[in-house]
Amino acid sequence: MLMLRQLALRNSYDFDRQAPDLKKQELFKRYSKRADATKDLQEAMEVFFFGQTWSDK
């Protein structure tokens, strides 16, 4: 990177194209984990504050 800066070259990124399949799969995994974690957090907060989850009723 230092050599590129000395030559006054800059990185360029192309965001116009579609993401490669491997990246799409990785993003799906991340979003899925985030959704699961959000659900788990919501249930934990319900138990902590109310003593039971809404699904227990």
Query: Would the pLDDT of 52 be above 80?
Result: no
Q: How far apart are CA 4 and CA 6, in angstroms?
A: 5
Query: Would the pLDDT of 2 be above 90?
Result: no
Q: Each residue of 11-49: pLDDT tens digit?
A: 777 777 777 888 889 999 999 999 999 999 999 998 988
- pTM (2 decimals)? 0.53
Query: Would the pLDDT of 5 be above 70?
Result: no
State which residues form the domain around 38. Answer: 20-57
- The DSSP code sequence of 5-57 is HHTT-------SSPPPHHHHHHHHHHHHHHHHHHHHHHHHHHHHHHSS-GGG-
In a domain, 46, yes or no: yes
In a domain, 11, yes or no: no
In a domain, 39, yes or no: yes
- How many domains does the chain contain in total? 1
